[in-house]
Amino acid sequence: MTPPGATTTRAGEPTVAATVITIRTTLQPQNKTFTHTIAIANGHARSDREVDRWRLFDLDHNTITYVDDLAKTYYTVPVDGAPASAGPDRPKTGLQATGQKRVVQGVEATQFLMRMGGYQRELWIGAPPDVPPQLWGMLDDTFAAVRGFPLIDHAELPYGKSKLVVDHTVVSIDRRNVPQSLLNVSADYRNVTAPDVNRQSASSPRSGQSTREEELRLYEKVQKAP
C-alpha cells in the first residue's frame, strides 16, 4: 500500500523512472487549492488521489485493476467491462470542439465545450508526448472515446446567488523516480471475482432525476476528476 502523495521516494526504497503529471485543483467559492499527481511507468498508471481503494491502469493491455488496501484484495477487468463503461450504456461526452487552439505546457491544445442547462465545462485537450493518448479515457469513463489529455479543465454551475467553480490545471509533466510500490499490487493481496456492477450512462439523466439534479451530479463528478 502506498499512501497518496507518495510519488516522493524514501531512502533505500526501490524506485522506477516515471512520467509524473502534476495537477492543481481550485474550488470556488470554497477558496480551496490542492495538488495531486498521476504517475506513468512501464505501461501502468495511477492517480495518487485514490487511497485505500484505488485503480491501477494497464495501458498495454487496456485493463483496470481495482485494489482494496483495507480488504487486501484486487480484481482486474477490461476497460470495456469497467463500471459505467460497457456496451450501449457507455457514457457520451457531449463535448463540442470550437476550433480554438492555444499552447499549454508547450503542447498545442484544442478547446472543447460541454453544456447542460446551467452547467458549463471548458477543456483544453492536448497530446503531450510522454502521456499515453488513451489515459484520460481510462481515468474517466465519460471520455473513453477521447484521445489526448485535458491540460486545462474548467467547470462552473450557478447555485443560488453564487457560482460553483472547479478548475483542474496541469502545472507540470516531468520525469522522475517514484516508488515501485505505487504502481504494483502487493504480492500478499488476494485476487477476487469482479462484482456484477449495474452499469448506467454517466451522461444521461437517470430515471426520475431532474435536469438540475443532473447538473449537480456532473459538477460533483468534475470535482473528482483524475
Three cell numbers written together for 52: 485505500
Residue 207 — very low, low, confident or very high, per pLDDT cuts 50/70/90?
very low
- Long-range contacts at 97-105 (CB < 8 A, ≥ 24 apart): 104/151, 104/152, 104/170, 105/151, 105/170, 105/172, 105/173
pLDDT digits (tens, 9 = 90+) for 35-64: 999 999 999 999 999 989 999 999 999 999
198 touches 84 (CB < 8 A): no
Q: Residue 118 carries which DSSP code?
A: T
Residue 205 — very low, low, confident or very high, per pLDDT cuts 50/70/90?
very low
Three cell numbers written together for 152: 486545462
Please determine, for residue 118, whether its predicted confidence score (pLDDT) is greater than 70: yes
Q: Residue 199 carries which DSSP code?
A: -
What is the C-alpha separation between 219 and 223, in angstroms, rounded? Answer: 6
- For residues 187 and 197, the model is more confident at 187
Q: What would you report as the CA-atom Rg of the chain, rounded to the nearest whole angstrom?
A: 18
Please determine, for residue 197, whether its predicted confidence score (pLDDT) is greater than 70: no
Q: Return the percentage of the chain with pLDDT > 90, whole number.
A: 65
Please determine, for residue 199, whether its predicted confidence score (pLDDT) is greater than 60: no
**Domains of the chain, with CATH numbers?**
15-194+219-223 (2.50.20)
pLDDT digits (tens, 9 = 90+) for 131-169: 999 999 999 888 888 899 999 999 999 888 889 999 999
Mean pLDDT (whole number) for 94-113? 94
**pLDDT value of residue 196:** 75
